[in-house]
Amino acid sequence: MPKVRRFELRQGPAPRFWEIGLDGLTLVVRFGRIGGDATTQKKSFRSQDAADADIDRQVGSKLASGWVEATTPAAAAPGGSEAAPEPAPARARPARAPAPPVRARQGKAVGLSHVKPAFCFTPEHDALFALGWPHLVRLEDGLAEDEDPVQSALEILSAAWPRISWPRATAARLVRYHRLPQAAAWGPDKKGRGGPTKAALALMEQDAPLDADDARAVIDCQLGADRARASAESVVMLLRILDAAVGSLVVADLLTERLEQLPEERLAADDWLDADTTRELGFLLLRVDAKAAASLRKRLEKVFARAPDAPAGEHGSVRTSLDLVLHGAEGVRRSALGAAEGFASPSELVFVQDDPKFVRQMLQRWDEGPESPDPRLTFLGGEQVLDIEASWLRGYDDPEEAYPFFVEAFGPIRSKRLLPIFLALSATFEAREPATQWFIDHLDFARPYLEEHAGGRDKEARWARAVLAAAASATSRSRASRD
Q: Give the pLDDT confidence of 66-91 residue by residue, as tens digits.
A: 668 885 544 444 344 454 444 333 33
CA 323 to chain centre: 21
- In sign, the C-alpha dihedral spanning 338, 341, 342, 345 is negative
Phi then psi for residue 228, to 5 deg, are -75, -10
**What are the beta bridge partners of residue 42?**
28
What is the rounded distance in angstroms from the CA atom of residue 173 to the CA atom of residue 117?
37
Query: To the nearest whole number, what is the mean pLDDT of the chain?
Result: 85
DSSP string, 211-263: -HHHHHHHHHHHHSTT-----HHHHHHHHHHHHHHH-HHHHHHHHHHHHHHS-
In this structure, what is the dihedral angle of CA atoms 388, 418, 283, 130, given to the nearest 10 degrees? 120
The larger pLDDT score, comparing residue 211 to residue 44, is at 211
HSE, CB side, 13 Å, CA atoms: give it for residue 351. Answer: 25
pLDDT-based confidence at 258, cuts 50/70/90? very high
Helix/strand/coil for 81: strand
- In sign, the C-alpha dihedral spanning 438, 440, 442, 447 is positive
H helix or E strand, kind and range, residue 139: strand 138-140
DSSP string, 360-384: HHHHHH--S---S--THHHHHH-TT
User: What pLDDT was estimated at residue 99?
Assistant: 31
In this predicted structure, which of 248-252, 257-261, 351-355, 369-373 has the lowest mean pLDDT? 369-373
Q: Give the mean pLDDT of 226-230.
A: 63
Q: Going by C-beta distance under 8 Å and a sequence separation of 6 or more, which residues neighbour residue 292?
A: 106, 249, 252
Q: Going by C-beta distance under 8 Å and a sequence separation of 6 or more, which residues neighbour residue 55?
A: 5, 20, 22, 27
User: What pLDDT was estimated at residue 64?
Assistant: 52
The size of the chain, in residues, is 483
Q: Give the mean pLDDT of 343-354.
A: 94
Q: Going by C-beta distance under 8 Å and a sequence separation of 6 or more, which residues neighbour residue 190?
A: none
pLDDT-based confidence at 132, cuts 50/70/90? very high
User: What pLDDT was estimated at residue 252?
Assistant: 97
Domains and CATH numbers, the chain: 3-85 (2.20.140.10)
What is the rounded distance in angstroms from the CA atom of residue 136 to the CA atom of residue 31?
30
Residue 318: count of CB within 10 angstroms of its CB: 24
Q: Which of 96, 2, 91, 8 minimizes the C-alpha distance to 57?
A: 96
Q: What angle in degrees, to the nearest 10, is found between the helix axes of 248-261 and 212-223?
A: 40
Q: Tell whether the model's pLDDT for residue 225 goes beyond 60.
A: yes
